[in-house]
Amino acid sequence: MAKKCSLLMLAFVLYLIHCRSTIAQVQNNISAIDLEALHQIKNTLIDIRTTTSLHFFSSWDFDSGDPCLSFAGVTCSSSEQPRRVESLVLGTGLSDSPGLAGTLSPFIANLTELSQLVLFAGIVTGTIPSQLGSLRKLRVLSLTNNHLTGTIPASIFALPDLHTVDFSHNYLSGTIPPTISASTQLKVLLLADNKISGQLPRGFPQQLLHLDFSQNNISSMLPPRMPASLRYLSASQNRMWGPLNCLESIPELVYLDLSMNNFSGGLPTSLFQPKLTSMLLQRNNLSGGLPPLSPYPYGPGSIIDLSHNFLTGEITGVLVGVESLFLNNNQLTGTVPKEYFGSLSAGKTKTLYLQHNYITGFQTAAGSSWPPWDSVAVCLSYNCMEVPVVVGKMACPSSIGEQISRPAYQCSAFHNRNTTSKEKEDYIN
Ligand SMILES: *[C@@H]1O[C@H](CO)[C@@H](O)[C@H](O)[C@H]1NC(C)=O
Ligand SMILES: *[C@@H]1O[C@H](CO)[C@@H](O)[C@H](O)[C@H]1NC(C)=O
Ligand SMILES: *[C@@H]1O[C@H](CO)[C@@H](O)[C@H](O)[C@H]1NC(C)=O
Ligand SMILES: *[C@@H]1O[C@H](CO)[C@@H](O)[C@H](O)[C@H]1NC(C)=O
Ligand SMILES: *[C@@H]1O[C@H](CO)[C@@H](O)[C@H](O)[C@H]1NC(C)=O
Ligand SMILES: *[C@@H]1O[C@H](CO)[C@@H](O)[C@H](O)[C@H]1NC(C)=O
């Protein structure tokens, strides 16, 4: 009996030794500093509990399991010993998940091999730890759709490999740090929908491809030189002003949204090239005319919105073929060239808003009248012309009411207006 007992005892001791060695092995696998950092990160964040959604931290069990192997969102280096955390993705990212709450621990900055830090949508509050500026390997930093406050840490832009920063849809305030201009690898900067204010930095990094700081409270001009590499630029819904001539040499630009600001002056001619398939400049203070006919036609999917400005002169052929074209609420005069009728007939142009201008006619193709196009919207109300009867049947915004003409007395002032030679010069420049 005593023998049996001691045998059992021995088995138990062996079992304990085995357990201990397993734990030791596990802890050998991840660096002690990284393990401690993960502990601290978990301590300041919690899953927003719902009965249905998967809880992100349910796999973060520090008592059993190797963080590198079993913790959701943790990816470690494979070669180094001890292993280091290289990527940290916080939150499930599932659409039915409410995400995480709490704050971001400054201990994140102890994960010095981290190249990617992602926080999925949730209600995480507090500031972005300035210590992140010491993560020398960081390439991707995405903390979008949370409730983060405070300022953008200026130190991150000195990180040598930083490629993507997405802080959009938070409550960040302060300015965009001037240190950004020194960033050598930054390609994507997304700051939309925060409370960023004040002046823009004097320059953005020359290799930047995608820049979005729309829906903030920035009150400045655009910097004198925008990166020539830009493909995507959105600054809509700020309080920006001044001319657009810094946009003159951005050859690869495909998307430009500067709508709902106070930009003024003329339209740079170089923006009118079909590669720039989305040009949204509506609701500014832009004046002058449209450039003359360009040799390159616009194609499917293109959208140009110049509505609610102070554009003058006649509609040139430059925008023929644009699929969705908004020139309404300007001071445009003259007759619409027949190429626009052709573009509508051919189904290339599907939306043409010209209401609230001083347009005196619309050339149709020889002998053609307005056919009953069901799938196009042509809005011509409140101009200095009879609204073609068929056009009246097409879908126009209901807010503009019936397709009626402008009162004659408002038109006479414009009938005698000439395009001045100064304006003609502006087209060419
Ligand atoms: C790390 O973990 C793997 C997989 O569990 C294991 O095979 C290996 O022995 C561990 N390495 C160390 C140094 O503990
Ligand atoms: C880890 O981060 C904390 C908080 O920033 C800091 O106080 C501590 O010195 C760091 N430890 C190491 C080893 O870097
Ligand atoms: C925008 O910034 C100005 C100061 O530049 C401030 O007075 C104003 O309250 C801000 N508006 C919002 C909506 O944050
Ligand atoms: C544009 O400027 C006018 C006059 O200064 C101002 O009242 C208006 O709020 C500004 N609009 C925007 C969007 O900044
Ligand atoms: C709007 O443009 C006009 C003329 O281009 C200029 O005089 C005026 O200051 C501009 N307004 C704003 C708010 O920028
Ligand atoms: C329009 O321009 C022509 C030639 O430049 C000039 O003779 C004429 O007087 C101008 N008309 C008005 C109304 O300014």
Q: Is the pLDDT of residue 48 over 50?
A: yes
Tens-place pLDDT, residues 117-135: 999 999 999 999 999 999 9
pLDDT at 391: 56
Percentage helix, strand, coil, to 5, in the chain?
A: 25, 20, 55
Rounded Cα distance between 152 and 156, Å, is 9
Distance 62 CA to ligand 1 centre (A): 16
Residue 263: pLDDT band (50, 70, 90) is very high
Residue 277: pLDDT band (50, 70, 90) is very high
27 lines ligand 1 (CB under 6 A): no
Report if residue 285 sits inside a domain. yes
Report the mean per-residue pLDDT for the chain. 87
CA dihedral 279, 308, 320, 386 (to 10 degrees): 170
Report if residue 164 sits inside a domain. no
Tens-place pLDDT, residues 160-209: 999 999 999 999 999 999 999 999 999 999 999 999 999 999 999 999 99
Ligand nearest to the CA of 242: 5
Distance 248 CA to ligand 5 centre (A): 20
State which of 239, 257, 308 you would mutate to test the pocket of ligand 4, scoring each by most atoms of that ligand within 8 A of its C-beta: 239
Task: Give just the sign of the alpha carbon dihedral 417, 421, 423, 428.
Answer: positive
Tens-place pLDDT, residues 282-316: 999 999 999 987 767 899 999 999 999 999 999 99
State which of 284, 285, 311, 426 you would mutate to test the pocket of ligand 5, scoring each by most atoms of that ligand within 8 A of its C-beta: 285
pLDDT at 403: 60
Residue 321: pLDDT band (50, 70, 90) is very high
Which range, 26-30, 52-56, 257-261, 296-300, is most confident? 257-261
**Averaged over 60-89, what is the pLDDT?**
91
173 lines ligand 3 (CB under 6 A): no
Question: CB–CB of 264/241 below 8 Å?
Answer: yes
pLDDT at 167: 98
Report if residue 82 sits inside a domain. no
**Averaged over 130-153, what is the pLDDT?**
97
Distance 260 CA to ligand 4 centre (A): 9
Report if residue 309 sits inside a domain. yes
CB atoms within 10 A of CB 27: 14
Q: Is the pLDDT of residue 234 over 90?
A: yes
Domain interval for residue 309: 266-429
- The CATH number that applies at residue 398 is 3.80.10
Closest atom of ligand 5 relative to the 262 alpha carbon = 14
- The set of residues, in sequence order, having a beta carbon less than 8 Å from that of 17 and lying 6+ positions away, is none
Closest atom of ligand 4 relative to the 283 alpha carbon = 13
Work out how many domains the chain is built from and give that number: 1
Q: Is the pLDDT of residue 19 over 70?
A: no
pLDDT at 262: 98
pLDDT at 29: 83
> How many helices and strands (H and E) does the chain possess?
6, 25
Main-chain phi, psi angles of 194, to 5 degrees: -130, -155
What is each CA distance from 294 to 109, 225, 282, 317, 377, in whole angstroms? 53, 25, 21, 7, 24
Instruction: Please give the distance of CA 273 from its chain centroid, rounded to a whole number.
Output: 22
Report if residue 148 sits inside a domain. no
Residue 419: pLDDT band (50, 70, 90) is very low
Report if residue 280 sits inside a domain. yes
Residue 27: pLDDT band (50, 70, 90) is very low
Report if residue 383 sits inside a domain. yes
pLDDT at 398: 65
Ranking 48-57, 233-242, 406-415, 419-428 by mean pLDDT, the lowest is 419-428
Report if residue 203 sits inside a domain. no
